[in-house]
Structure 1
Amino acid sequence: MRKPQSVKSLETLGRARLSKSFYMRDFMYSEISNFHGIPNIPDYPDVAIKACSSLCQELLEPLNSTFGRISIFSGYRSPSVNQFGNENKLNCASNEANYASHIFDYQDSTGTIGATVSVVIPWFADQYENGKSWQDLAWWIHDHLPHCGLYFFPSLAAFNITWHETSKEKTIHSYIAPKGCLTKEGMSNYNVSHSEHYEYFPEFKKP
């Protein structure tokens, strides 16, 4: 698929089905794009679809099946949208850092693809508001899903979740106290069960 050059071709891209529950248009909304009028359209749609399809099938569908509807708060960013966000301090890393991350359609420095999205799980947002720890959800994901990076944020216990073509290290970081790295490969808490943190969670449901 070529980069869309018309409303009709953009609609076609948006209607590309990525998995049981998700379409490409679910990931293309951007406040930066909307407010500043910068098109948020992939240069290489087929690469974006491939990366985001894997993220949906391996990570988002199990979340959706287990916890009910999840919300995508930040998905794909075109290089121009991301660069504007980075230059204007709108919580965007550099383009190079976001290749194979929020910029789905560009390979990273290793020549591989990936995708990162910011997610809120309404069911857990309610638990978090009532005093549960963000770590409960972090450990559940770590124990159940093949993510390769989580980053948690204070508002609604939102988190970035990453799928990557080759990287398999399941790191967890947070801006919520205790801030910093919760786990990474080599730490004593990395390859053990953490079930005591999520005994109150719904039963894991495969999509």
Structure 2
Amino acid sequence: MSKNKITTLDKLARIRLSENFFLRDFLFSETAAVNGINNVPDDIELAISAGSNLCEKVLEPVQKAWGRIHIRSAYRSCEVNQLGNELGANCASNEKNYAGHIWDKRDENGFMGATACIVIPSYLDYFEKTGDWASLAWWIHANIPAYSTMTFFPNLCAFNISWHENPEKLKRISTYINDPNTGHKKRILSDGIASDFYKEIPLVERYKACEVLLNNLKGTVYE
């Protein structure tokens, strides 16, 4: 790799997407690293625009409430995502990931979007003791209105969280973890509608555990 290319990549990585996040935070990919692929956007302006919205409207308010978040996986180039799909590495097809993990491609309807897979360390101990990811999902649903979709995974309670510019896109919360409240892995929110188990429970009651945790983080007593 030439010095000029390294300099260009270095400048790209330093681009600030929001108060606390830079583009470099979202570019690392194990698939890219192992296979010697540069995980870099083709359409830099589109990736920056989509990523900035994700950071400013979704990730920053999550981090403000819960403390530092860990970025597990985020931007994928088409080449990286295609390889991940072919290897069966939990990557959907490129077309399904446009305006998702592939920030620099618009979806089939011409909208931009961005996805990051994150872990919230301050929630992790509680999750490992209880298996309760749903409380966190409902807290985000109630308090981070700009999110578009969430999908939860078993390891570390990691979850994909997305921003999408289509205001008519209905929210969805999916999971690969059994819900301790229901015992199954069905969506708890589909097309903006809560599942049968949750729809009769007031929203604030669905994430009461999070209020306890957040108050403990602030050093206050929750009654």
Contiguous gaps of at least 5 residues in structure 1 = none
Cα offset, 1:126, TM superposition = 1.2
8 Å CA contact 1:183, 1:190 repeated in 2: no
Aligned twin of 1:181? 187
TM-score, scaled relative to structure 1: 0.91
Give the percent of matched residue pairs that are identical in Structure 1 and Structure 2.
44
Aligned equivalents of 1:54 and 1:192: distance in 2?
Answer: 31
Counterpart in the other structure of 1:137: 136
Q: Which one has a larger percent helix, Structure 1 or Structure 2? A: 2
> Unaligned stretches of 5+ in structure 2?
179-183, 219-223
Asked if residue 159 in structure 1 is aligned to residue 168 in structure 2, the reply is no
Higher RCO by CA contacts (8 Å cutoff, separation 6 or greater): 1
* Residues 9-32 of structure 1: CA deviation (Å, up to 9, x unaligned): 111110000101000000000000
TM-score (norm. length: structure 2): 0.85
> What CA distance in whole angstroms lies between the structure 2 residues aligned with 1:13 and 1:19?
15
Deviation at 1:194, TM superposition (A): 2.1
Number of the residue aligned with 1:53: 52
Mapping for residues 99-118 of structure 1, pairs under 5 Å: 99-118=98-117
Q: Tell me the distance in 1 between the aligned counterparts of 2:20 and 2:186.
A: 33
Question: Number of matched residues?
Answer: 201
1:169 corresponding residue in structure 2: 170
| Larger gyration radius, structure 1 or structure 2 | 2
- C-alpha displacement of 1:116: 0.6
- 3-state SS, counterpart of residue 75 of structure 2: coil
Matched, 1:13 2:19: no
Cα distance in 2 for residues equivalent to 1:44 and 1:96: 16
How big is the alpha-carbon RMSD for the aligned residues of Structure 1 and Structure 2? Answer: 2.0
Following TM superposition, where does structure 1 have runs of at least 4 consecutive aligned residues deviating by more than 3 angstroms? Answer: 186-193
Displacement of 1:186: 3.7
